[in-house]
Amino acid sequence: MRSIKLTLNGASISRDVEDNRLLVEFLREDLNLTGTKESCGVGVCGACTVLLDGKPISSCLALAVHADGCAITTIEGIAEGDRLHPLQEAFLAHGGLQCGICTPGQILAAKALLDANPHPTRAEIQHWMMGNLCRCTGYYKIIESIAAAAGGE
Amino acid sequence: MIPFTYLEPASLDEALALLARYGDEAKLIAGGTGLVNLMKQRLVRPSFVIGLRALQPLAGIAENGGLRIGALATFGAIEASALIRRRAPLLAEACGHVATVRIRSMATLGGAMVHADPHLDTPPALIALDAQIVARSQRGQRAIPADRLFTGYYQTVLAPDEIVTEIRIPHQPVGGGTAFLKFLPATQDDYATVSVAARIVLDETGAIAEARVALGAAATVPVRAMAVEAALAGKTADEKSFRDATTLVVKAIDPIADFRGSAEYKRKMAVVHVRRALAEAAIKAKRPA
């Protein structure tokens, strides 16, 4: 068991975690932040994407102790009160989701892209988002949603 | 997840002392993308996992008698480094081909070398660049040429008490051209069916002064195709020379059949991609004035 301190969705928290706890388990089971999904469990599908110090990571491959001293952003932390994040609005407006399992990961990956590169080309969006799998949309609507959010539509 | 005790040394000396004490019972963790998957599959069961993230000086990228890349530098940091893109574009390119943006922001260059999965993108690039892997232990320090690091599937010459601290890339030959090709018939984030890193240096007459060819996913270890290199020395850098020399690739490799292709298919693709990589490197190479 180790004590960790981190900034979670903008708020400072301290918790004790088991040494072998994965970040995705810590978020979902210890903190009840179930917006982050675990799907493949081997870092391929992107469903468990969260931001660590602004960078997208697979929370299924990260140890919870490695969040110590870092800032973690999950899907629960990007709206401002009742006002959805522009990416969330765009995914709704452009049909960027169907079943929704991959959506938190898609939106966090897209947020990391737009934070680093506010006006990506369509090719840059496709290259960046390549690692977030979706079995519903066929991807067109996801790319459209991100392009719309980047364009402020 | 299997149980283990997590330790986080505050200094390299402390980390070396822990490894000297626990040896085989301990595993080092940097980005975790290799080790966590191996632990999930119960292929490794360390009693102690030693986290290196407090050793941030080992994440630096600098130029000092060649390039010195800290073992903890992530693929994302290397790919984005202006210094690496200028001095060793081959490595920046290889890093940009690794898996997905998530893995590139977690996984480290040192971690990839010790993980020793023969499918990885960076080992062939480092072999083609004549890189050295610096390992430290309480017994001392040694520099291992990249093409002598790997001994088998997921195996290296490193002892249980050694930590890779740095990857050194010597000054590259003036006018040398490089190319990295990753053959991916399925998805972009997959391991290569075969990958090739090549470097060509020309002499004043335009003939090949020196060639380097290394392959990933072509055997149980990353492979340097020395027979191809030797066959190219002194030859004209043209399609015929490349075609003749690359037939020798099949003797250097021993591909493993998997869902990315049969061994026979991978052998054929290795020949094709070595030829293309050499041609691309030759186009980028410049004759000395």
Residues B275 and B135 in one domain: no
Count other C-beta atoms under 10 Å from residue B20's C-beta: 15
Strand order in the sheet with B208-216: B177-183, B194-202, B208-216, B223-224
CB contact under 8 A, B102 and A49: yes
Task: Please check whether residue B71 lies inside any domain of the structure.
Answer: yes
In angstroms, how far is the first alpha carbon of chain A from the final one?
Answer: 47
Q: Most B CBs within 10 Å: which of A26, A52, A63, A134, as the mutation test of the B interface?
A: A63
Q: How far apart are CA A76 and CA B72, in angstroms?
A: 31
Contact list in A for residue B32 (CB cut-off 8 A) is: 61-63, 66
Last residue of a domain, one of B169, B195, B214: B169
pLDDT at A153: 52
CB contact under 8 A, B188 and A61: no
Instruction: Write down the domain spans for chain A.
Output: 2-77, 86-151
- Closest alpha carbon to B28 in B149, B123, B159, B151: B159
Residues B196 and B163 in one domain: no
Residues B163 and B205 in one domain: no
Q: What does the angle CA B33 – CA B113 – CA A51 come to, to the nearest 5 degrees?
A: 30
Q: Is B281 on the interface with A (CB under 8 A)?
A: no
Q: pLDDT 10s per residue in chain B (289 long)?
A: 999 999 999 999 999 999 999 999 999 999 999 999 999 999 999 999 999 999 999 999 999 999 999 999 999 999 999 999 999 999 999 999 999 999 999 999 999 999 999 999 999 999 999 999 999 999 999 999 999 999 999 999 999 999 999 999 999 999 999 999 999 988 889 999 999 999 999 999 999 999 999 999 999 999 999 999 999 999 999 999 999 999 999 999 999 999 999 999 999 999 999 999 999 999 999 988 7
Task: Please check whether residue B107 lies inside any domain of the structure.
Answer: yes
Residues B159 and B207 in one domain: no
Q: Could you list the residue range(s) of the whole structural domain that residue B105 is in? A: 5-51+58-169
CB contact under 8 A, A20 and B36: no
Q: In this structure, are residues B73 and B51 in contact, taking their beta carbons and an 8 Å threshold?
A: no
CB contact under 8 A, B100 and A61: no
Q: Which CATH class name applies to A2-77? A: alpha beta
Contact list in B for residue A42 (CB cut-off 8 A) is: 37, 40
Q: Is A73 on the interface with B (CB under 8 A)?
A: no
Q: In this structure, are residues B32 and B75 in contact, taking their beta carbons and an 8 Å threshold?
A: no
What is the interface pTM, i.e. ipTM, of the complex? Answer: 0.95
Q: Is B38 on the interface with A (CB under 8 A)?
A: no
Last residue of a domain, one of B147, B169, B191: B169
- Six token digits for residue A11: 């708020």
CATH number at residue B242: 3.30.390.50
Minimal C-alpha gap between A80 and chain B (Å)? 25
Amino acid at B19: L
CB contact under 8 A, B36 and A109: no
CATH architecture of A86-151: Orthogonal Bundle (1.10)
Residues B201 and B230 in one domain: yes
User: Between residues 74 and 93 of chain A, which touch chain B (CB distance below 8 Å)?
Assistant: none
Q: How far apart are CA B249 and CA B15, in angstroms?
A: 41
Beta-ladder partners of A65: none
Strand order in the sheet with A55-58: A11-17, A2-8, A71-73, A49-52, A55-58
Residues B144 and B192 in one domain: no
- Closest alpha carbon to B98 in B174, B226, B28, B192: B192
Residue-wise pLDDT tens digits, A48-74: 999 999 999 999 999 999 999 999 999
Q: Are strands B194-202 and B5-7 parallel, antiparallel or unpaired?
A: unpaired
Residues B35 and B135 in one domain: yes
- Six token digits for residue B253: 């490799």
Beta-ladder partners of A7: A12, A71
Residues B221 and B164 in one domain: no
Task: Please check whether residue B202 lies inside any domain of the structure.
Answer: yes
How would you write A61-72 as a 3-class SS string? CCEHHHHCCCEE
Last residue of a domain, one of B123, B143, B169: B169
Q: Is A63 on the interface with B (CB under 8 A)?
A: yes
CATH number at residue B62: 3.30.465.10
Domain count, chain B: 2
Question: Which CA distances in Å does A5 have to A70, B50, B130, B253?
Answer: 8, 19, 42, 49
Task: Please check whether residue B175 lies inside any domain of the structure.
Answer: no
- Six token digits for residue B48: 């102690």
Q: In this structure, are residues A10 and A85 in contact, taking their beta carbons and an 8 Å threshold?
A: no
Find the CB nearest B6 among A2, A43, A131.
A2
Q: Are strands A2-8 and A11-17 parallel, antiparallel or unpaired?
A: antiparallel
Residue identified by tokens 């090719």 is A123
Contact list in B for residue A72 (CB cut-off 8 A) is: none
Task: Please check whether residue B217 lies inside any domain of the structure.
Answer: yes
Reported in sequence order, the residue ranges of A11-147 that DSSP labels E, i.e. its strands, are: 11-17, 49-52, 55-58, 71-73
Task: Please check whether residue B272 lies inside any domain of the structure.
Answer: yes
CB contact under 8 A, A131 and B3: no
pLDDT at B186: 85
Q: In this structure, are residues B22 and B47 in contact, taking their beta carbons and an 8 Å threshold?
A: yes
Percent helix, strand, coil in chain A (nearest 5)? Answer: 35, 20, 45
- Give every CB contact of residue A81 below 8 A, 6+ residues apart in sequence: none
Q: pLDDT 10s per residue in chain A (153 long)?
A: 999 999 999 999 999 999 999 999 999 999 999 999 999 999 999 999 999 999 999 999 999 999 999 999 999 999 999 999 999 999 999 999 999 999 999 999 999 999 999 999 999 999 999 999 999 999 999 999 999 999 865
Instruction: Give the ranges where B131-262 is alpha helix by DSSP (H).
Output: 226-232, 239-246, 249-252
Question: Which CA distances in Å does A40 have to A44, A45, A51, B266?
Answer: 7, 6, 18, 27
Dihedral sign, CA of A47, A97, A10, B101? positive
Residues B20 and B136 in one domain: yes
Residues B22 and B90 in one domain: yes
Task: Please check whether residue B196 lies inside any domain of the structure.
Answer: yes
Q: Max alpha carbon distance in chain A (Å)?
A: 47
Strand, coil or helix: what is B70? strand
